[in-house]
Amino acid sequence: MDALTDFDRRDFTAEVPGVGAVTRAVYAAGSGPGVLVVHEVPGITPPVADFGRRVRDAGFTVWMPSLFGTPGRDFSGSYSVGQIGRACIAREFAVLADHRSSPITAWLRAAARALHQAAGGPGVGAVGMCLTGNFALALMVDPWVRAPVLSQPSLPFWPRDGLHLSDADLDTVKAGDTPLLGLRFTHDVMCPGARFARLRRELGERFEAIEIDSGPGNADGIPITAHSVLTLDLVDREGHPTKAALDRTLGFFRERLRGA
């Protein structure tokens, strides 16, 4: 269990279409331009919190909203399955939708705006992971989101090249000039290569993809089941491709939010 004592817990309330006013806990730390870290299934686990600390220590204000799960609880398979089940039936999450975003993205957009107002700077970064991966894509409709990162985006479950984004929002994203960083393992069944191929078609050179070989016999010994690039499957060792992906993510934030 991670007590998260180095984060400041606060409540944030915003309207969610079809649901009403929703209040979620947000764990905040650091100073400098803002980065919204949206956790993966099953929640703010210790590896997710550690990623937030890395972003904080790189010179940013981090907000980690708790969307499901128990903040700080250790990862386990049963815990993860239970939280996926909860997300599947929750009104805030439209896990089967292709041509629309989950309603909770309205709450996240409000949080990103509030973070930008509080932290200042040219804009904010946003990281979505796994079930929340494509939420960072939905946030790109707002001009203050300048450094969006999709880490192993897993929605929708079908079609394989779906983006979990409305056609109107996709048109808005395509009309802008904000770059997008995407991370995945090549044999991750939850984040298929077709999804990244679609993003390349839609955004062209604005989409920077990091696809880490997780096939049988790969040079780095990465298991075929690897999924979480920045958290559970991160190997914090120089020269390892997941460490390079982490470094690139932090560098992306610096380039877009600090101009360095």
Which CATH number belongs to the domain containing residue 77 in this structure? 3.40.50.1820
Tokens 């997941």, residue located:
242
CA nearest neighbour of 94 among 167, 193, 165: 165
pLDDT tens-digit map of 135-151: 999 999 999 999 999 99
Spatial separation of the C-alpha atoms in residues 75 and 106, rounded to whole Å: 27
In a domain, 1, yes or no: no
Give buried/exposed letters for 40-74 (b at 16+ CB in 10 A, else e).
Answer: bbbbbbbbbbebbbbbbebbbbbbbbbbbbebbbe
- pLDDT confidence bin for 240, thresholds 50/70/90: very high
Asked whether the predicted pLDDT for residue 260 surpasses 80, the reply is: no
Domains contained in the chain, number: 1
27 domain residue, yes or no:
yes
Q: Is residue 63 part of a domain?
A: yes
Instruction: List the structure tokens of 161.
Output: 């090249």
Say if 2 falls within a structural domain: no
Enclosing domain of residue 211: 8-258
Q: Per DSSP, what are the bridge partners of residue 12?
A: 24
Task: Give residue-wise pLDDT tens across range 186-204.
Answer: 999 999 999 999 999 999 9
Q: Supply the pLDDT for residue 83.
A: 95
Does residue 149 lie in a domain region? yes
Bridge partners for 258 per DSSP = none
Examine the pLDDT at 95 and tell me if it is beyond 90. Answer: no
52 part of a folded domain: yes
User: Is there a contact between 16 and 1 (Cβ–Cβ < 8 Å)?
Assistant: no
Under 8 Å between Cβ of 160 and 191 = no
Q: What is the pLDDT of residue 55?
A: 98
* Mean pLDDT value across the chain: 96
pLDDT of residue 82: 95
Give me the pLDDT at residue 97, please: 87
Report how far residue 188's alpha carbon sits from residue 196's, in angstroms, rounded to the nearest whole number: 12
Domain for residue 155, yes or no? Answer: yes
For 213-228, the pLDDT digits (tens) are: 999 999 999 999 999 9
Q: Has residue 3 been placed in a domain?
A: no
Across residues 30-54, what is the average pLDDT? 98
Q: Which two tokens stand for residue 222?
A: 């990465």
